[in-house]
Structure 1
Amino acid sequence: QFLDSYGLGRWIDLPESESYLWTHLAYHLVEAGRGDELWRLLLDFDWLQAKLAATDVNSLIADYDHLPGDSDLRLVQGAIRLSAHVLARDKTQLAGQLVGRLQTFQESGIQSMLQQAREWDGDLWLCPHAASLIPPGPLIRILEGHTSWVDAVAVTPDGRHAISGSWDNTLKVWDIESGEEIQTLTGHTSSVYAVAVTPDGKHAISGSDDNTLKVWDIESGEEIQTLTGHTSWVRAVAVTPDGKHAISGSGDNTLKVWDIESGEEIQTLTGHTSWVRAVTPDGRHAISGSGDNTLKVWDIESGEEIQTLTGHTSLVYVVAVTPDGRHAISGSGDNTLKVWDIESGKILVSFSGDAHFFACAISPDGKTIVAGDASGRVHFLRLMGA
């Protein structure tokens, strides 16, 4: 009855002044048992363009969540989400974005919508002749805003926000669901190379080419502390599980342990003979990777070096530790990943790739390793055997 009171033959004729219904029509159609009508709208290019013009791209994306089980709608939603950073600044590119991302999908509803898009007689636009843009799939969204390379990303424990560090000297806080930029954190005077988030999700710690670390309030964007002491760039930052201490690795060949609340330097860990570019703590220990081809295991409280892990024949770029704290995984310029027994310092297994390994992460069960290499490949490796 609420919807019928508008007396419209076509929802596309809804006056632009009806901002509430432009935003919430999908909800009311589903509540009224008119899901089929919503399905047709969400595959109607003219409606999509009108909805986008009347609201914004995130409102359009949200409409598809009301019919979650339809595969055609998932593809269209995925294409719009991938295009969100473009459509946020230029709504007239919807036709070109959909055609460029969905041409290879032969579903009749999608092909009919694309034909509508090709016939759109709005502003002058460029129509792709082939599928020239990334199709919907594993990549969900592109976050745009930095003006130079992005060298570091961390995610808050609740999974809602990402914090990125860039060579434009800033960090940005993003809403992962909407893709919106929430905060820009300014204060570093050179490139930001590393970022970590405290376990409570309230603070970010960044490391920079200006030789400092900074502690930030994520919600307000305020700079809380500047940690000074390194004499070269800081490319690695990690936070202990209790959230009290940060550990940094630097081009001055040292690691430093910091009290996050006071900003005080507690320990300097010396022993590497080249830069330290990777560090990960498990609470009592920190494990570092260095340009001297080694990893080292440190006692955080005493600053003592416990183990030196040797076996790589080139620079160690990345280190990760399994959730149980027993094993470390390292990636190197010798094109290998190695799994180490932390207590004994022994190599348990090696995996040889075709390029330098620059990134590595471990699944919560400690069994799956995800590693990125210099060729652009992402390797998913399952730790098998005893």
Structure 2
Amino acid sequence: MPISESDIDPLALEIVEEVTPDIRSKSGVWENEDLAQVKYKVLRGHHAGVNSVQFCMNDTHIVTSSDDKTCVLWSMETGEKVQVFEEHGSIVSECHMSPDNTKLASACWDKQVRVWDVETGKILWKETHGGIVTCCQISHDGKYVVSVSDLDNVVAVRSVQDGSLVSSTNDLHKGTITCCRFSPDDNRLCTTSMDKTIKLWDRNSKKVTLHLDGHINVVSCCCFSRDERQLCTGSWDKLLQVWDISTGMFRSEGPRTFNKGHEGSVSTCCFSPEGTLLFSGSYDCTVVVWDANNGGPKLTLKGHQDWVTGLDVSQDSNWVLSSSRDKTVRLWHIGDSDRIPVVMENKMNMGLKIIKCDECGKPFSITQLENVRETHMCVFCRMQASRPLPSFEDIEEFP
């Protein structure tokens, strides 16, 4: 099959083979320079824009929601549709899998939040809001689901088991709530709004414990670091701001601002599991990988043909999922991104030194505070010098 101009992705490294009729993957080509070294795969199957994406089942599956009125559970290995949830009455703005992978919550423009049985694809219960349901999430302990309506700005927390109402509030914001997330310990809820503010709601005291102002436009998304020390917010002002909510340093110093990454409004964000990387998607059709410690952009992932709507990161931080209005989901491999020349260059610009390992000859980075004379081998060679690594025969391979 000939490769058309629309098939060319400047960051593609390999051709993605066609697996099923639902995976009509575009063929990638080499860019004519050494910087193009990011592998990717493209998942097709939705008939309209994809609004959210999530790894699930130990990163062996993904779940997506779409304007085509469906949620879909996909196999990562084959790309096949494992289950389709299609009894929605309108656009599905977001869906979220429970930690035990048995239930799926979905937020829909038909004003309903639904919880589904993943195995059978049947609705367990549904409840109606006063307006469009803009977002939803299941708590980390799997007991509750939060959903938000845009007309009355109601934030409702319900039992995942039977849909019974646990708490409800409609006075948090003066504008439409764009995103709502449980904190890692599930004791707090973070909401972002078109009124340019961020609120943290304590579920025990039922009070707002933090009111954050900093963005100059609509705040579109938020995410917690896993240790709950940091909260990141993204905005239509094209910026991300990271708030130290553990020490409250932002009260005197303000949030750390991550800029010079996007040319369009930020639409989605998420931390890597270990908290060292931050990912953001934008209306400029790109995904930016940030160094969460110093706020500098490491890498920009290009290829989507419309704005990026959702992001998720694998448990080992090697893979990034992105959903887009272009009807596709992209799976990016960033596990070896530190060896990409453009990433190395960005590290040097952020105050890091790049040197070659005396043992293996490969480049690695050290901070300006480290002593180059004492640090002459990469971490892998230092580990091997102190303790021999197992042979390839001893390493179990996984498909």
What's the TM-score once normalised by structure 1's chain length? 0.65
Question: Which of the residues 254, 270, 293 maps onto 1:384?
Answer: 293
Larger Rg: 1
Would you tell me which structure has more strand in proportion to its own residues? 2
Query: Aligned letter for 1:271?
Result: L
Structure 2 counterpart of 1:236: 135
Structure 1 counterpart of 2:255: 348
Measured at CA, do residues 319 and 157 of structure 1 come closer, stay the same or move farther in structure 2, by a change above 3 Å?
A: farther
- Residue 84 (1) aligns with residue 19 (2): yes
Secondary structure, aligned partner of 2:15: helix
- Residue 166 (1) aligns with residue 66 (2): yes
CA distance in 1, matches of 2:223, 2:31: 39
Structure 2 counterpart of 1:262: 162
Following TM superposition, by how much is the alpha carbon of 1:384 offset from its aligned partner in structure 2, in angstroms?
Answer: 2.6
Gaps of 5+ in 2: 1-12, 296-399
Higher relative contact order (CA 8 A, sep 6+): 2
- Residue 188 (1) aligns with residue 91 (2): no
Aligned residues: 272
Following TM superposition, by how much is the alpha carbon of 1:182 offset from its aligned partner in structure 2, in angstroms?
Answer: 1.3
- Residue 295 (1) aligns with residue 198 (2): yes
Structure 2 counterpart of 1:177: 77
Deviation by residue 1:341-371 (Cα, 9 ceiling, x = unmatched): 2253643301224321111110111121011
Structure 1 counterpart of 2:242: 339
Structure 2 counterpart of 1:329: 232
CA distance in 2, matches of 1:174, 1:137: 23
Structure 1 counterpart of 2:177: 276
CA distance in 1, matches of 2:30, 2:50: 31
For the 8 Å contact 2:23–2:44, the answer to whether it is kept is no
Measured at CA, do residues 170 and 327 of structure 1 come closer, stay the same or move farther in structure 2, by a change above 3 Å?
A: same
Deviation by residue 1:227-260 (Cα, 9 ceiling, x = unmatched): 22x2111122122111101112221322111111
Structure 1 counterpart of 2:39: 138
Give 1:68-217 correspondences, 5 Å limit.
Answer: 78-81=14-17, 83-85=18-20, 101=28, 137-140=38-41, 142-217=42-117
For the 8 Å contact 1:227–1:264, the answer to whether it is kept is no
- Residue 375 (1) aligns with residue 284 (2): yes
CA distance in 1, matches of 2:280, 2:220: 12
Measured at CA, do residues 365 and 80 of structure 1 come closer, stay the same or move farther in structure 2, by a change above 3 Å?
A: closer
For the 8 Å contact 2:16–2:28, the answer to whether it is kept is no
CA distance in 2, matches of 1:176, 1:170: 18
CA distance in 2, matches of 1:265, 1:199: 20
CA distance in 2, matches of 1:136, 1:381: 17
What's the TM-score once normalised by structure 2's chain length? 0.63
For the 8 Å contact 1:357–1:372, the answer to whether it is kept is yes
The percentage of aligned residue pairs carrying the same residue is 26
For the 8 Å contact 2:22–2:43, the answer to whether it is kept is no
For the 8 Å contact 2:60–2:76, the answer to whether it is kept is yes
Question: Which of the residues 243, 250, 269 maps onto 2:149?
Answer: 250
Deviation by residue 1:43-73 (Cα, 9 ceiling, x = unmatched): xxxxxxxxxxxxxxxxxxxxxxxxxxxxxxx
CA distance in 1, matches of 2:23, 2:268: 31
Gaps of 5+ in 1: 1-74, 106-134
Following TM superposition, by how much is the alpha carbon of 1:267 offset from its aligned partner in structure 2, in angstroms?
Answer: 1.1
For the 8 Å contact 2:235–2:265, the answer to whether it is kept is yes
Structure 1 counterpart of 2:353: none
Query: Aligned letter for 1:368?
Result: L
Deviation by residue 1:68-121 (Cα, 9 ceiling, x = unmatched): xxxxxxx7xx5243x3355978xxxx9xx8xx645879xxxxxxxxxxxxxxxx
Following TM superposition, by how much is the alpha carbon of 1:156 offset from its aligned partner in structure 2, in angstroms?
Answer: 1.1
CA distance in 2, matches of 1:101, 1:166: 25
Would you tell me which structure has more helix in proportion to its own residues? 1
